[in-house]
């Protein structure tokens, strides 16, 4: 099975997939617990507008997505702060506006439909060296932020309001978390595609939370689940010629089901 690693494109796919999986699944634990799980989807929609704009103006779609997702995610925070809307409505407003821009551009200039598909559904086997390096840098930043701000992030995740009375800069940390999520979503565009980008944020975290571990162990479990799904997904996709992104996401779904079974079995054993 190791012979697939002899191909350079496979090595890049594995490395990029693994580091993106780690970044997504770690952020996911915080986002899911704060009921911000859908922000990943929102940012993916926003990025779609950026990709289309990029293609239209002949800028690298990656940068189009990056700029759109950064502005869009800050916009979400802003709308949430300025209006009394809940986070999900704020996400909806910004993401659908950007999605609208993307679809509008596509309909006006309909020459690049094929390119757009690779962004929607991922193209991990065509990842460039530079994209791999960027993904690694991104994952290192995510891990560093979580390491250095662990206690504060834990506190605001549990109880944001009271955390303010501890002198924790909740506004700064929220912005940091959302911006990192935006970067990570754009980074995962090539791995699983925008359609499934938020799956690596939600599913591993949701599965890990079923295991009833401590907070730190939940973070590790989430990362392990995500990395396993990427490794196994790439392997299966290569062996059987499946779509990579779909395989990765389905494996995550299977993991989630397995955690449910584990929970049932465990509670049955305890009852005995």
168 contributes a contact to other proteins by CB under 8 A:
yes
| Spatial distance between the Cα atoms of 181 and 252, rounded to a whole number of angstroms | 19
96: buried, middle or exposed (CB in 10 Å: 19+, 13-18, 0-12)?
middle
Report, in Å, the least distance between residue 20 CB and other proteins: 23
154 contributes a contact to other proteins by CB under 8 A:
yes
Report, in Å, the least distance between residue 40 CB and other proteins: 19
| Spatial distance between the Cα atoms of 243 and 183, rounded to a whole number of angstroms | 24
160 contributes a contact to other proteins by CB under 8 A:
yes
**The binder of other proteins chosen from 165, 241, 269, 270 (CB under 8 A):** 165
Answer whether 190's CB lies under 8 Å from 19's CB.
no
Report, in Å, the least distance between residue 165 CB and other proteins: 5
**The binder of other proteins chosen from 151, 253, 258, 264 (CB under 8 A):** 151
235 contributes a contact to other proteins by CB under 8 A:
no
Q: Which residue has the tokens 């397995």?
A: 258
Report, in Å, the least distance between residue 42 CB and other proteins: 21
User: In the chain, what are the helix, strand and coil shares in percent, each to the nearest 5?
Assistant: 85, 0, 15
Question: Smaller CB distance to other proteins: residue 47 or 157?
Answer: 157
Answer whether 114's CB lies under 8 Å from 61's CB.
no
Q: Which residue has the tokens 């062996």?
A: 239
88 contributes a contact to other proteins by CB under 8 A:
no
83 contributes a contact to other proteins by CB under 8 A:
no
**The binder of other proteins chosen from 118, 174, 175, 210 (CB under 8 A):** 210
Answer whether 220's CB lies under 8 Å from 170's CB.
no
Write the binding mask 10 to 39 for other proteins: x where contact by CB under 8 A, - elsewhere: -----------------------x------
Bin 35: left if φ > 0, else alpha if -120 < ψ < 50, else beta: left
104 contributes a contact to other proteins by CB under 8 A:
no
Tell how far CA 160 is from the center of its chain: 23
Q: What sign results for the dihedral spanned by CA atoms 198, 129, 47, 115?
A: negative
**The binder of other proteins chosen from 129, 133, 212, 262 (CB under 8 A):** 212
Q: Which residues form the interface with other proteins (CB under 8 A)? A: 33, 148-149, 151-152, 154-155, 158-168, 209-210, 212-215, 217-218
């Amino acid at each position: 099975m190791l012979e697939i690693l002899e191909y350079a494109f496979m090595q890049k796919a594995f490395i990029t997939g693994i580091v993106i999986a780690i970044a997504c699944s770690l952020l996911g634990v915080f986002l899911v617990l704060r009921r911000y799980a859908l922000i990943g989807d929102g940012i993916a929609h926003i990025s779609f507008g950026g990709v289309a704009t990029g293609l239209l103006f002949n800028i690298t779609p990656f940068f189009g997505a990056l700029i759109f997702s950064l502005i869009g995610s800050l916009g979400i925070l802003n709308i949430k702060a300025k209006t009394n809307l809940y986070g999900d409505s704020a996400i909806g407003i910004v993401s659908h506006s950007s999605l609208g821009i993307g679809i509008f551009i596509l309909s006006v200039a309909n020459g690049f439909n094929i390119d757009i598909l690779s962004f929607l559904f991922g193209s991990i086997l065509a990842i460039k060296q530079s994209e791999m390096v960027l993904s690694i840098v991104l994952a290192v930043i995510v891990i560093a932020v979580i390491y250095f701000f662990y206690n504060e992030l834990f506190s605001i995740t549990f109880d944001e309001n009271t955390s303010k009375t501890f002198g924790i800069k909740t506004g700064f940390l929220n912005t940091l978390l959302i911006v990192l999520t935006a970067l990570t979503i754009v980074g995962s565009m090539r791995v699983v595609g925008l359609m499934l980008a938020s799956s690596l944020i939600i599913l591993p975290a949701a599965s890990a939370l079923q295991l009833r571990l401590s907070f730190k162990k939940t973070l590790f479990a989430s990362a392990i689940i995500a990395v396993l799904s990427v490794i196994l997904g790439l392997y299966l996709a290569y062996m059987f010629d499946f779509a990579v992104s779909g395989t990765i996401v389905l494996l995550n779904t299977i993991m989630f089901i397995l955690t449910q079974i584990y929970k049932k079995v465990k509670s049955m054993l305890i009852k005995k």
